Protein backbone atom coordinates (compact mmCIF):
# COMPACT_ATOMS: atom_id res chain seq x y z
CA UNK A 1 0.00 0.00 0.00
CA UNK A 2 1.25 3.44 -0.85
CA UNK A 3 1.30 5.63 2.23
CA UNK A 4 -0.24 9.06 1.89
CA UNK A 5 1.77 11.33 4.22
CA UNK A 6 -1.05 13.85 4.73
CA UNK A 7 -3.54 11.15 5.68
CA UNK A 8 -4.53 11.07 9.34
CA UNK A 9 -3.51 7.77 11.03
CA UNK A 10 -7.15 6.95 11.85
CA UNK A 11 -8.14 7.52 8.22
CA UNK A 12 -5.20 5.42 7.05
CA UNK A 13 -6.49 2.67 9.36
CA UNK A 14 -9.94 2.54 7.76
CA UNK A 15 -8.40 2.49 4.28
CA UNK A 16 -6.18 -0.43 5.33
CA UNK A 17 -9.16 -2.27 6.83
CA UNK A 18 -11.23 -1.70 3.68
CA UNK A 19 -8.39 -2.93 1.47
CA UNK A 20 -7.96 -6.03 3.63
CA UNK A 21 -11.68 -6.86 3.45
CA UNK A 22 -11.62 -6.58 -0.33
CA UNK A 23 -8.59 -8.85 -0.66
CA UNK A 24 -9.60 -11.37 2.00
CA UNK A 25 -13.10 -11.88 0.60
CA UNK A 26 -12.22 -11.60 -3.09
CA UNK A 27 -14.96 -9.01 -3.66
CA UNK A 28 -15.02 -5.96 -5.96
CA UNK A 29 -15.09 -3.49 -3.05
CA UNK A 30 -14.06 -3.26 0.56
CA UNK A 31 -15.21 -0.53 2.91
CA UNK A 32 -14.80 0.64 6.47
CA UNK A 33 -16.51 3.32 8.52
CA UNK A 34 -15.56 4.89 11.87
CA UNK A 35 -18.33 5.88 14.26
CA UNK A 36 -18.52 8.71 16.79
CA UNK A 37 -16.78 6.59 19.44
CA UNK A 38 -13.90 5.53 17.18
CA UNK A 39 -15.23 2.01 16.59
CA UNK A 40 -14.76 0.68 13.07
CA UNK A 41 -17.02 -1.49 10.95
CA UNK A 42 -15.60 -3.33 7.94
CA UNK A 43 -17.44 -4.97 5.06
CA UNK A 44 -17.18 -6.25 1.53
CA UNK A 45 -19.60 -6.28 -1.34
CA UNK A 46 -22.69 -8.46 -0.78
CA UNK A 47 -23.80 -10.24 -3.96
CA UNK A 48 -26.56 -12.74 -3.26
CA UNK A 49 -29.42 -13.59 -5.57
CA UNK A 50 -31.83 -11.93 -3.16
CA UNK A 51 -29.60 -9.16 -1.77
CA UNK A 52 -27.19 -6.79 -3.51
CA UNK A 53 -25.28 -4.26 -1.39
CA UNK A 54 -22.14 -2.29 -1.98
CA UNK A 55 -19.37 -2.62 0.56
CA UNK A 56 -19.93 0.91 1.86
CA UNK A 57 -23.68 0.48 2.35
CA UNK A 58 -22.98 -2.83 4.12
CA UNK A 59 -20.46 -1.16 6.46
CA UNK A 60 -22.97 1.61 7.27
CA UNK A 61 -25.66 -1.00 7.95
CA UNK A 62 -23.30 -2.86 10.28
CA UNK A 63 -22.60 0.37 12.17
CA UNK A 64 -26.31 1.11 12.55
CA UNK A 65 -27.06 -2.46 13.63
CA UNK A 66 -24.34 -2.15 16.27
CA UNK A 67 -25.79 1.02 17.75
CA UNK A 68 -23.71 3.75 16.10
CA UNK A 69 -25.46 7.10 16.08
CA UNK A 70 -23.03 9.01 13.86
CA UNK A 71 -20.01 8.53 11.60
CA UNK A 72 -16.70 10.37 11.62
CA UNK A 73 -15.37 9.02 8.31
CA UNK A 74 -15.76 6.33 5.67
CA UNK A 75 -13.45 4.66 3.19
CA UNK A 76 -14.04 2.49 0.14
CA UNK A 77 -11.41 0.56 -1.80
CA UNK A 78 -12.51 -0.09 -5.36
CA UNK A 79 -11.48 0.03 -8.99
CA UNK A 80 -14.38 2.45 -9.63
CA UNK A 81 -13.51 6.06 -10.41
CA UNK A 82 -16.02 7.59 -8.01
CA UNK A 83 -18.16 6.88 -4.97
CA UNK A 84 -21.71 5.96 -5.99
CA UNK A 85 -24.42 8.44 -5.04
CA UNK A 86 -26.29 5.71 -3.12
CA UNK A 87 -23.17 5.01 -1.05
CA UNK A 88 -22.65 8.69 -0.24
CA UNK A 89 -26.34 8.90 0.72
CA UNK A 90 -25.99 6.04 3.22
CA UNK A 91 -22.98 7.74 4.83
CA UNK A 92 -24.87 11.05 4.87
CA UNK A 93 -27.91 9.46 6.53
CA UNK A 94 -25.81 8.39 9.52
CA UNK A 95 -22.92 10.86 9.54
CA UNK A 96 -24.26 14.01 7.96
CA UNK A 97 -23.42 15.85 4.76
CA UNK A 98 -19.90 16.80 5.86
CA UNK A 99 -18.70 13.27 6.60
CA UNK A 100 -15.57 12.58 4.53
CA UNK A 101 -15.57 9.54 2.24
CA UNK A 102 -12.11 8.39 1.18
CA UNK A 103 -11.91 6.73 -2.23
CA UNK A 104 -8.90 4.45 -2.65
CA UNK A 105 -7.76 2.23 -5.48
CA UNK A 106 -7.09 -1.49 -5.08
CA UNK A 107 -3.48 -0.71 -4.07
CA UNK A 108 -4.75 1.39 -1.14
CA UNK A 109 -3.72 4.73 -2.61
CA UNK A 110 -6.31 7.37 -1.74
CA UNK A 111 -7.39 8.96 -5.03
CA UNK A 112 -10.01 11.35 -3.72
CA UNK A 113 -11.88 12.48 -0.63
CA UNK A 114 -15.46 13.59 -1.12
CA UNK A 115 -18.12 14.69 1.31
CA UNK A 116 -21.15 12.53 1.90
CA UNK A 117 -23.35 15.52 1.10
**Tell me: the pLDDT tens digits for 78-91?**
999 999 999 999 99
Q: How far is CA 62 from CA 40, 43, 57, in A?
A: 10, 8, 9
| 1 pLDDT higher than 50 | no
**The whole model's pTM is what?**
0.92
Tens-place pLDDT, residues 88-104? 999 999 999 999 999 99
- Mean pLDDT across the chain: 95
pLDDT at 6: 80
Q: For residue 5, what pLDDT band results from cuts at 50, 70 and 90?
A: low
Rounded Cα gap, residues 22 and 77, in angstroms: 7
Amino acid sequence: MTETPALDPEDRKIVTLARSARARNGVPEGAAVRDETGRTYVAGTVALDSLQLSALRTAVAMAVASGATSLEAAAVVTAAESVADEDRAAVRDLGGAGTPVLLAGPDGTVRDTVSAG
